[in-house]
Amino acid sequence: MAKQLGFLVDTEKCIGCFSCEMACKNEYQTEVKPRWRRVYQLREASLPYPERNFISLACHHCADPACLKVCPVGAYSKREDGIVLHDHARCIGCRLCTMACPYGAPQYNEKERRVEKCNLCYQKIDRNEEPACVAACPVGALQLIRDLNSFPEPSTVKELPGFPDITITRPSIRFVPPRAGVQMRRDV
């Protein structure tokens, strides 16, 4: 089975500090928008007190990427380690990938009239370093999974309530779910 890198997001550890999102922006000097990585607060409507759970999401480098299938100019490619790359120079800004991706990962840059997204810091991966977001997390809530095929799953889940149907693209992400109950992204 081919190797597949992925992200582990621990909702019990994440403190919503945005360090991962800021580290991504700093690494690639991106504009205020798009946001390749985004931190969301989770909500639990039935709890009588304010909840304190967050998740940090970016491209999921899916096993079966919808973005790659619809791009008319071949701007997307999938590496042997599973990273889904987007070639910014090749992109013509047609936005088909933004419509095909269930997770809103590819985002349109109005200024450049092209789409862009997380490339999982592949240059760092090639140097055996961690992605900028993972390295910046002060509490270990965001981790790199070197190969999902050999990742132990008992304490983790493949999706959270409100997460789009994972059978469409098979996203390469695992979550440590919140203990308090069924919590969803505030914006879902």
Q: How far is the CB of 58 from ligand SF4 (least distance, A)?
A: 8
Q: Which of 8, 105, 125, 144 binds ligand SF4 (CB under 6 A)?
A: 105
Residue with tokens 């039935």: 46
Using the rule CB under 6 A, give the single segment among 27-35, 122-130, 134-142, 157-165 that binds ligand SF4: 134-142
Output the CA–CA distances (angstroms, integers) from residue 145 to 68, 127, 179, in the order listed. 22, 16, 22
At a CB cut-off of 8 Å and minimum separation 6, what does 141 contact? 9, 10, 11, 13, 14, 15, 56
Q: Which is nearer to ligand SF4, 66 or 91 (CB)?
A: 66
Per CB under 6 A, 18 contacts ligand SF4: yes
Q: How far is the CB of 171 from ligand SF4 (least distance, A)?
A: 6
122-127: long-range contacts, CB 8 A cutoff, minimum separation 24: 122/79, 122/83, 122/85, 125/5, 125/81, 125/83
Using the rule CB under 6 A, give the single segment among 102-110, 123-131, 147-155, 176-184 that binds ligand SF4: 102-110
Side-chain-side CA neighbours of 162 within 13 Å: the count stands at: 14
Q: Which of 2, 139, 182, 188 binds ligand SF4 (CB under 6 A)?
A: 139
Interacting residues with ligand SF4 (CB under 6 A): 14-20, 39, 54, 56, 59-62, 65-67, 84, 101, 103, 105-106, 117, 136-137, 139, 141-142, 169, 171
